[in-house]
Amino acid sequence: MCGIAGLIAPNGTSPDAQVLDRLADALGHRGPDGRGRYVKDNVGLVQNRLSIIDLEGGRQPILDAHGRAIIANGEIYNYIELKAALPDVPFATGSDCEPPLHLYAREGLAFTKHLRGMYAIAIHDPAKGHVVLARDPFGIKPLYVAEGPWGLAFASEAQALIATGLVAPRVRTQALHELLQLQFTCGTETIFDGIRRVTPGETLVVADGKVIERHLRPALTEGSETGDCESLLTRLDRVLMDSVDVHQRADVPYGMFLSGGIDSSALLAMMARLNPRPVLAFTAGFPGTGVHDERDHARALAKAVGAEHVEVDFTEADFWRLLPKVAAAMDDPAADYAALPTFKLAERARQDVKVILAGEGGDELFGGYGRYRGAMRPWPLTKAMRRTGTFDGLDVLRGAPTGWRDGMVVAEDAARRTGRSRLQMAQAVDCADWLPNDLLIKADRCLMMNGIEGRVPFLDPDVAAFAFNLPDKWKVHKTSGKWLLRLWLDKALPAARPFDKKRGFTVPVAEWIAGRPELGALVAAQPCIQAIAKPDAVRRLFAHCDKKTGFACWTLLFYALWHRRHLDGTLPEGDVFECLSS
């Protein structure tokens, strides 16, 4: 797990050393254990390392005998099997990131089809004059690019590209409208004009400082999983056990985040089966608030499997203290309040571990969201995904947001494939945008800011191929999603009570905001808020913050703090009130 970046200048030009320094400095938090640098011809690569596998020998860049070089962010979980399949290769390290370099030497751009893991990779092939950039099919690991007369720059975080001075921090209006209405931004274009995401599963070939080829490896492939209940449960058990097993490969301590929901409970059950020592599980709770606190249930689950359970209080004081740091970490913004407890859990977990397993992807692959039931209805009763936006009907913004569903429409059109059910189409839409551009960005930034690697066993390609291609009836049964996973969990860990009614995860941000009426004036006074919203309406919104309007208040507060850091350049010093008052 690392931060990677680089600059590919036009041929005949050397990469600017100061730009490389700024890229490395901006990504320092992603890799506190070492820094690597590579410069050859018109190519400069930098890497900050969080050492997880081959702690001493796995430093990057890694070079082969022919001068090809690789830097990578992520983990290749099947690296042991890949090495065994390359018996004639003289491996120089024990790193999981070396096999992709030798696979590229043998198979060219097809090398990614062999990789089982999460990754953003850069390979320099000096003989061809190419740099190859590749991102894993679900977009678990981030990768951003920017192009200009100076060539092409790439980095693990968009803010690193801005730190170089090559790209000015300008907000794209459509992306801002997406953020306000959806809480995340869609597609390949980021909120920053001139910075784009490498699409999940995309491989780029760069030469002379320009992209000359693009290839895409989809995360979701069509197939068929048939059989009776028992045979499907047996196959599910096998793919889950195999995925969790390889996701635990590490030379450092690891643990898990336990919410008490179906997905994390399933991970706990499998980790407890595979580990000879007690699983270390971390759970966040919100004492003294009106939201559901999951710790009692999580505590019972931990006791049932003999896990070591660490409970972390997230209080109102934490909200005001941590929010500026969270907004600063989320350079590619997602106004997802679940980032708050994720950040504090990572703060606590780093005292004991360097790797965390978490349940992201379970809802998308096994059909867990309630909105899927609406999408499954036959025409004309089918409901489009995310039909309404956060600010609809509130009369707070200066103008009605425009184009904020365009990215969703593109994803919906791409998801319509012959042979897919309506449920699969809805799942594919979420996997295209919501998953990589909200949930996975949130996890990546909050954990990496605290020196923790996050791993997501549900997004393993074998698990995904099995789950996505299940018949709909094994995903949604009456009013319950994740039906087959619930059936499996009922056998594997009955204490999880998987058939109980699901209680959504909520952070009491509206409750906390409502208790500080002076906050509305502070938010309304921010120039970035005045540019998009009517100040009097913002003050009224905060003065009457409740369950209905709370998410709009939260979104404006998040955006105000995000803008101060990433557009105005103000460091997040102090709590929310100090940051907004400075």
Query: What was the pLDDT predicted at 381?
Result: 62
Could you tell me the end-to-end alpha-carbon distance of the chain, in angstroms, rounded to an integer? 35
Query: What was the pLDDT predicted at 341?
Result: 97
The pairing of strands 117-125 and 69-76 is: antiparallel
DSSP annotation of 128: T
Query: In whole angstroms, what is the distance from residue 554 CA to residue 140 CA?
Result: 26
Residue keyed to tokens 């999603």: 481
pTM beyond cutoff 0.75: yes
DSSP annotation of 371: H
**What CATH number should be reported for the domain whose range is 2-216?**
3.60.20.10
Query: In whole angstroms, what is the distance from residue 8 CA to residue 345 CA?
Result: 38
Query: What was the pLDDT predicted at 547?
Result: 86
How many CA within 13 A on the CB side of residue 356? 30
Query: In whole angstroms, what is the distance from residue 32 CA to residue 99 CA?
Result: 24
Query: What was the pLDDT predicted at 1?
Result: 63
Taking CA atoms, 153 is separated from 18, 84, 195, in Å, by 13, 35, 10
Q: Which residues partner with 72 through β-bridges?
A: 121
pLDDT in tens, 18-75: 999 999 999 999 999 999 999 999 999 999 999 999 998 999 999 999 999 999 999 9
Query: What was the pLDDT predicted at 26?
Result: 97
**What are the strands of the beta sheet with 355-357, ordered from one edge?**
308-313, 280-285, 254-257, 355-357, 453-455
Domain range summary for the chain, segments of one domain joined by +:
2-216, 229-378+436-496, 509-581
Active site residue 2: yes
The pairing of strands 151-155 and 2-8 is: antiparallel
**What CATH number should be reported for the domain whose range is 229-378+436-496?**
3.40.50.620
If phi > 0 it is left, if psi is from -120 to 50 it is alpha, else beta; for residue 386 that is: left
Contact present, 72 and 52 (Cβ < 8 Å): no
Q: Which residues partner with 117 through β-bridges?
A: 76
Taking CA atoms, 456 is separated from 81, 245, 285, 557, in Å, by 20, 12, 22, 30
Which residues of the chain are under the pLDDT cut of 70? Answer: 1, 380-381, 503-504
Determine which one of 2, 446, 528, 553 is catalytic.
Answer: 2
Q: Which residues partner with 76 through β-bridges?
A: 117
Other Cβ atoms less than 10 A from the Cβ of 33: the count is 16
DSSP annotation of 573: -
